[in-house]
Amino acid sequence: MTQELIDLRTSIQEGRYADALAIVDELEGMSKQAILRNIQAYLNILLIHLVKNQIEQRLTGSWANSIRHSIREIKKLNLKDNKKSYYINQDEWENLIEEEIIEDAIANASEEVMHGKFNRSQLSAMVNKSQILTTATMLLALTYTYSPKELPAIMDDYLSQLPGGQDWIDRKN
């Protein structure tokens, strides 16, 4: 990015405004890609914990914290600077999760589910992907409705509905 800024300065100083605007567009694209990569990283963490929850039929405090943290971070990252629009719209999550991320999350979860008892392909065959997708999109939808201050309490209500969620709320696990 340093070279792009040098080129931008040079273009402006030399009066080559079309070149400068092209560099600005390139920088905006790079910034958006970095934000989307960060969102995908948190989405991967979210999905890993949803897979573990589904297969192990329990919810630990650590998993709940990771899910809540991922959702909060996705909310922050997804909101554009204008505070009115999003990098990923609410109706776009399903395609993003299906196409790019679910299999990576399953591969990563295979190392953790039941202490690595299943390899990636075995775990992939066991996971109800449509249920993971439904749960993830439901949790992600909360980021469009609730403020950062409201989100943790709302998340607890949703997390309590997951397998083992009530035991987690009651601190029985």
Distance between CA atoms of residues 41 and 18, nearest Å: 35
pLDDT tier for residue 173 given thresholds of 50, 70 and 90: low
**Residue 26 pLDDT class (50, 70, 90 cuts):** confident
52-66 pLDDT per residue, tens:
999 999 999 999 999
* pLDDT band with cut points at 50, 70 and 90 for residue 83: confident
CB 142 within 8 A of CB 154: yes
Please name the residue that has the structure tokens 């405004």: 17
Q: Say which amino acid occupies 13.
A: Q
Provide the phi-psi class of 83: left if phi over 0, else alpha when psi is between -120 and 50, else beta.
left
| pLDDT tier at 1, thresholds 50, 70, 90 | low
How does residue 27 score in pLDDT terms, banded at 50, 70 and 90? low
For 114: left if phi > 0, alpha if psi spans -120 to 50, otherwise beta; the answer is left
Q: Whole-prediction pTM value?
A: 0.85
Give per-residue pLDDT as tens, 127-169: 999 999 999 999 999 999 998 889 999 999 999 999 999 999 8
Q: Which pLDDT tens digit goes with each residue over 9-23?
A: 787 888 877 867 776
Nearest to 140 by CA among 12, 105, 132: 132
Cα separation of 22 and 8, whole Å? 9
